[in-house]
Structure formats: C-alpha cells, structure tokens
Amino acid sequence: MVHLRIVAPDAEAQKVMALFEKTESVYNVILLKDCATKPKGHAILADVAREDASVVISDLKELGIHKVGSIAIEDIDSQISDVAIAAEKAAAGLPSDAVVWEEVESRTSENVELSGSFLAFMVVATLIAAAGILTDQVILIIGAMVVGPEFGPLAGLCVALVHKRPDVARRSLTALAVGFPLAIGASLLMTLAIDAADLVPEGFSQDKHPFTDFIASPDEFTVIVAVLAGIAGVLSLTSAKSGALVGVLISVTTIPAAANIGVAVALGDSSDGLGAALQLGLNLVTIVIAGVAVLFIQRVLYVRRKDKHRSDEGRKAAGLPSNR
C-alpha cells in the first residue's frame, strides 16, 4: 500500500476528491479544509493499492497538482483493514511486483549525484579490492563489492535511457567517469606505496593468484553473469524486494576489476591490466543493456495499464479525458 498526501487549492482539491471517491483502488480518503498555509489550500490524505499508485499519481499530475501544490508519497509497511484488502483486489496484479515509477525516479536521482561520499566509497571499496588481489583473499573482494556504490549511477543511467531523461543520464555518466578513474588511481598509488615499502606479499605475481585471477580473465561467463546481475538489480530497484540488491553487488566484478587495473599498472603487468580493463568494460556495458531491457518491458506494461485506466470512473468524475 502507498499513502498519498496532497496539498492543493480549493478548485483542484475538489477534482482530486472526485477522482479518489470514484477510484476503487483508493481508500481512507480524508479532506482537511484550509489547513495548508504554504501553499495555501486543502490537504487530502489517501491510501492507494501499490499496483495502481503510479497511474493514480499520473492522474494527479494531469490535474496539475504538482504545479499548484504538492504530492507526497510514502510506503505503508502494514495495515489491518478489510477496506484495504478490497482496494487491493480492485487493482490487478500483485503488490510485490508493482512498480511505483515516481519512487524509482526519486531513488535513482539520489544515487547518481557526484558527491564526496560517493567518491569516498568508490576509493575505499577499490582499495579493499586491491588489498584482496595482493593477498589473494576472496573475502576482501566480496567486501569491496558490497561497499562499492557504482550500481547507483548504473541504475540511474538505465532509468534515464528508458525515460528519456538526458539530465539524469549526464549525471550518471559523470559519476562513473569521475569515480572509476579516481578509484583506479588510488589503487595504483597504494600499490606503488606498498611495493616501495617492500610490503608486497612474498611470492606474489600477477599470473599466480589463483583465487582472484578471474578478475582479469573475462570470458563468456562474464557476460552471462553481468546480464543476470543487470536483470536482478533492476528488478530489485523497481519492486518491493530490494534485499536482492546485495546479491547483485556481490555477483559483478566492477570494483575488483578497477582495483586490478591499478595493481597491474603499478607492478608493470600490462596484459593483466588490459584483461581487467576488458572485464570492467564488459560488466558496465552489459549491466546497462540488461537493465534497460528489463525497464523497457516494465514500462510497456505500465503504459498498457495506464491506457486501460483512462476509462476509469474516477477520471471521468475529475473531468479528465478518457481517450488514449
């Protein structure tokens, strides 16, 4: 379930009330007259079945509520109500599979910012991975994958391409274009410092670290895993099952590959560096392609749902057109 809080002037508020009262998937509708002061108007509280949340919010945008007032969206973790059950039954589909596109856009918009914390996590994650390569410790590689924040801009780029948002695409690409070179440079400098201090583990060589050798050895499974990770990552982003995202982060070798580039360059192994660069490039491109494909399919299904919703009684009551 999704909770909506709308602030709107009197004329628009009346249309919202007409929309909500006739839409079967909307319930717990409350009108608080003249309680809002900035902007001035009425406040309307309502709950909507998650499956219909985006189409109802689209109706509110069509009424211009976001221009003269505001629309706030909150998830409801639990609710005890037979009315709520009836509203869910009125909305086709399953709540766990429903995509609230406004949430997706908001979430990805926050994660594509080129911030100090993003760069710090990129550098720290890559340094952990570099330590894992030098010591041939898989557990450090896994830790680096979890710490790495790179999936945020990748997801943002997928959403931007599907929604045709050049501003979000530009911010996502900027974060990746700055974050990865900085992280690779940090890995290179740390390895040089370790080598200068004669702290490189005895017997270490670029072609003899069996547990982490896969990082610089891309093959067909690199593409297969990246495709599956892209699919799982986007599904985790758009559905209520966000816990799967940790598994996605662990399954791709973007951060370890970036670390291996720095380690290889610092130790003078060009072939290993090229292999790691190819691994990184394949992962980034494949994840984006798979993510865009999944989002495109979800978007098509949403557009069909929205078209079907256009003949809903609530839209007619609010004076919205029913043509597709």
Q: Cβ(190)–Cβ(130) under 8 Å? A: yes
Q: What 3-state DSSP class applies to 37?
A: strand
Comparing C-alpha atoms, which of 80, 83, 78, 81 is closest to residue 95? Answer: 78
* String of DSSP letters for 179-207: HHHHHHHHHHHHHHHHHHTT-SPTT--TT
- The three-class DSSP label of residue 72 is strand
Beta partners for 70? 7
74 strand-pairing partners: 3
Question: How many C-beta atoms lie closer than 10 Å to residue 300's C-beta?
Answer: 11
Which pTM was predicted? Answer: 0.85
Token digits of residue 63: 């009424």
Q: Which residues of the chain have pLDDT under 50?
A: none
Determine the pLDDT at residue 162.
Answer: 93
- pLDDT value for 49: 92
Q: Per-residue pLDDT tens for 1-48? A: 899 999 999 999 999 999 999 999 999 999 999 999 988 999 999 999
The pLDDT > 90 percentage for the chain reads 53
Which among 297, 301, 302, 161 has a CA at the least distance from the CA of 231? 297
pLDDT in tens, 151-177: 889 999 999 999 899 999 999 999 999
Phi-psi region of 203 (alpha: psi -120 to 50; beta: other; left: phi over 0): left
What's the pLDDT score for residue 79? 86
311: how many CB neighbours lie within 10 A of its CB? Answer: 11
- What's CA 241's distance to the chain center, in Å? 12
